[in-house]
Amino acid sequence: MSGNAAHERVDDPGFETFEGVRAERALPVWSERLGLIGKFDVVEFHPDGHIFPVEYKHGKKREKVHDDLQLAAQAM
């Protein structure tokens, strides 16, 4: 339940700005070349041009590789 509550905000598309950083929520992403489609929880766009994806995970790390595959696909 706590994971669902924490994810409720990041699943709502929109943005906010803090200290010059624009944080986009529920940002869709895709690659036709790789055949992938997904959605970032949050992507931070910093004034210096750096871009940081933020993925929220709760609880213990799972033994399965699903989370690792998701993060790798987002990085690609």
Its domain, for residue 23, covers: 2-75
Q: What is the pLDDT of residue 61?
A: 73
Residue 15 bridge partners (DSSP)? 24
Q: What is the pLDDT of residue 21?
A: 97
Q: What is the pLDDT of residue 6?
A: 54
Residue range 43-62, pLDDT digits in tens: 999 999 999 998 887 777 77
Among residues 32, 30, 54, 51, the alpha carbon closest in space to that of 42 is found at: 54
Average pLDDT, the chain: 85
Helix (H) or strand (E) holding 19: none
Q: What is the pLDDT of residue 8?
A: 62
Per the structure, the count of domains in the chain is 1
